[in-house]
Amino acid sequence: MNPNKRVYDNILQTIGNTPLIKLHKVTSDLPCTVYAKVESFNPGNSIKDRMALKMLEVAEKEGKIKPGGTIIEGTSGNTGMGLALAAIVKGYKCIFATTDKQSKEKADILKALGAEVIVCPTNVEPEDPRSYYSVSKRLSTEIPNSWYVNQYDNLANRQAHYEQTGPEIWEQTEGKITHLVVAAGTGGTIVGTGMYLKEKNPNVKVWAIDTYGSLLKKWFETGELDMGEVYPYISEGFGEDFLPQNYIKEAIDKFEKVTDKDGAVMARKIAKEEGIFAGYSAGSVIAGLKQLKAELKPTDVVVVIFHDHGSRYVGKVYNDEWMLDRGFLDVDTVKDLIGGLGRRRLVTIDEDAKVSDALELMKKYDIEQIPVTKGGDVTGAITQAGLFKKLIENADVKDFLIADVKEPALPEVSMDTPLERLTHYITKENGAILTKDESGQHHILTKYDILNAFSKG
């Protein structure tokens, strides 16, 4: 395909010829030159468009699917996206089985393209009938004129990258590439691209990035498929709990594992410091490359693959509350904690309201303390413990005005207060604090918010 062509017959002709972009800030501590192959420029916003189309074209040639047939696959989203685009152009139906670990955005996108999506549990063995591998296989035997893609063992997967991704990188770097770094999942990208590059120059090093909870690194180093290495992980799109047939050891030189946290934090850093809104695995690839810094030298030219687009992860990696809940955000001050909790309504009650109104608010919002206000200013507080004590002494208290039973105002701290100091404000009688942001808006932090911040840290 002519990369300079600007008019296309259909969307599939826009797959490939993605840009190579030099990285600056996130790799400033590395001695080498680093380029990112930004695959979100594909029409489906991921590198999987390449192999999805190739696998379908091979299946058509081999007669595995007939016109009007159904494409069935187990996919975390990106392969499904590529297959769905191809299916629309070529006139096929799609059914995809995915896992409950994957972001909701991925499933929603597949549905928007007309695919049926079946969500399966993550924490089961591959051969378990509930797994997304098993479900997709079963459906392919039950539905007439259907084709089970099986991207893991379908060798057209790696063929696509041998024919496309590898040659593009070689041409873009003018043959100067010394290292290829890829987050390894099905094996198609790293093996296909790596095979091509090593044929052009056997000295090119191919480094695979794995995640903790995956068995690939140990398999590569020992040849053993150790299920003891396998446990649930949060990273998306790479790592495996079995060995796909697309893998060839000789195409890879090294495996490096990266934690869920390091990958997520780095993905956000790439967006903020490079202006490239990339997916979770892009962060893991850069984090892994930085872990291998000692093996790099100034003359090296490294190409990393940024597999997909950050829009797939706006409810996860790029969501402060999600990051905070998993202990992935470094929270040092009240401002950090407030930012991580997201926008929450501050429930207040006026002095002229009745105690019964306060009880209703506590029940409705499941809260234990409410700031009391008058004319917009905080003048006191109503707490569940204080009201309970008063109700025991006098059942008629519920008809009293808040002004007559309010307690002292919750302690108020500045936004730059270190978290360690907050424990001094939380007592048996006082279970929350207030703070005010730059706009003058009050926020409340409960003892549970503070305890959670410490436990995650």
203: helix, strand or coil: coil
- Distance (Å, whole) CA 79 – CA 113: 13
Q: Which residue has the tokens 């296909």?
A: 192
Could you tell me which of 198, 288, 195 has the C-alpha nearest to residue 248? 195
d(CA 164, CA 276) in angstroms, rounded, equals 22
Instruction: Give yes or no for a contact between 136 and 74, defined as CB atoms under 8 angstroms apart.
Output: yes
Eight-state DSSP code of residue 9: S
Q: What is the DSSP letter of 408?
A: P
Q: In whole angstroms, what is the distance from residue 3 CA to residue 15 CA? A: 10
Q: Which of 48, 205, 218, 316 is catalytic?
A: 48
Q: What is the DSSP letter of 30?
A: S
Question: Do residues 236 and 243 touch, judged by C-beta distance below 8 A?
Answer: no
Number of residues written out for the chain: 457
R_g (Cα) of the chain, nearest Å: 27
Annotation says 48 is catalytic: yes
Q: Which residue has the tokens 């797959």?
A: 15
DSSP β-bridge partners for residue 211: 258
Q: Which helix (H) or strand (E) holds 256?
A: strand 254-258
User: Would you please indicate which residues are annotated as catalytic (active-site) residues?
Assistant: 48
